[in-house]
Amino acid sequence: MFDLLERWLKNGIFEVQEYVRLQAATIRGATSPPFYYRDIIIQLDAIGVGSLTVVLLTGFFTGAVLALQSGITLDQFGARPFVGRLVSASMLKELGPVLTGLMLAGRIGSGIAAELGSMVVTDQINALRALGTDPVRKLVVPRVVAGFVMAPILTIIADTVGILGGWMVAVFQLRVAPSVYWTSVIDGLYPNDAWMGIIKPFCLGYVIASIGCHVGLRTHGGTQGVGRATTSAVVAASVAVVAVDLVVTQLLITLLY
């Protein structure tokens, strides 16, 4: 039992150490040449444009259901016209970033881990090194940069369609006047909330992509290993999204409010 715990702890510490080393190499690769611009553009497209559908759907339905649920609760206080304020504040500060993060963890975290994992088990990573390419610069940096840049953009899109989803429910089901809804939405938006809603996705995008790369590059054990890596990447990235959200939220509340 003690041996098992010791091995588990050692493995955990080793994973953290390797993750930190990869982050150091990634930062070095992102700030010094050579840069693989074409790969960065490909990843911006794959991660950004490729995730658009899932983010649009998630954002829309979340905003709609939020209006629906909060409408019932607000009715108890005769505060139905404030539904817009609740939807906008919730989407902007918390649900937009976190749900977009979770969607990205599922979509790009798994995709990156599977792609890099397959490259590891088929010797393509070694082939890259043999051809004089640093795999971190060629594979990790473009994905992490794309995750870092695209997560905030996708979050803004999710926030927007979420508020639109809330508007549809508020107007057509809760019978709130559109002007009342939009006034309430604007009343609920404060500059500090906007800052929080925009800073968090940068952190989440970075964490999701870097965890996908770390898990993918440490794949071993053939195709079975690729399957394991994909699952691990999704689990680790999803947990990290929620955990990082808590830490960053606490930090931003201290700094901004």
Cβ 96 to another protein shortest distance, Å = 32
Q: Is 134 exposed, middle or buried (0-12, 13-18, 19+ CB in 10 A)?
A: middle
Q: Is 31 exposed, middle or buried (0-12, 13-18, 19+ CB in 10 A)?
A: exposed
> Contact between 134 and another protein (CB under 8 A)?
yes
Which residues from 6-45 bind another protein, rule CB under 8 A? 36
Chain centroid to CA 250: how far?
Answer: 18
Cβ 187 to another protein shortest distance, Å = 49
Query: How many residues make contact with another protein (CB under 8 A)?
Result: 16
> Contact between 118 and another protein (CB under 8 A)?
yes
In angstroms, the CA 92 to CA 77 distance is 24
Cβ 130 to another protein shortest distance, Å = 5
In angstroms, the CA 175 to CA 179 distance is 12
> Contact between 127 and another protein (CB under 8 A)?
yes
> Contact between 5 and another protein (CB under 8 A)?
no
Cβ 42 to another protein shortest distance, Å = 9
Closest CA to 241 of 101, 128, 78: 101
> Contact between 133 and another protein (CB under 8 A)?
yes
> Contact between 126 and another protein (CB under 8 A)?
yes
Which residues from 40-69 bind another protein, rule CB under 8 A? none
Q: Closer CB to another protein, residue 124 or residue 160?
A: 124
Closest CA to 26 of 146, 130, 122, 128: 146
In angstroms, the CA 60 to CA 66 distance is 10
- Residues of this chain that bind another protein (CB under 8 A): 36, 118-119, 122-124, 126-134, 138
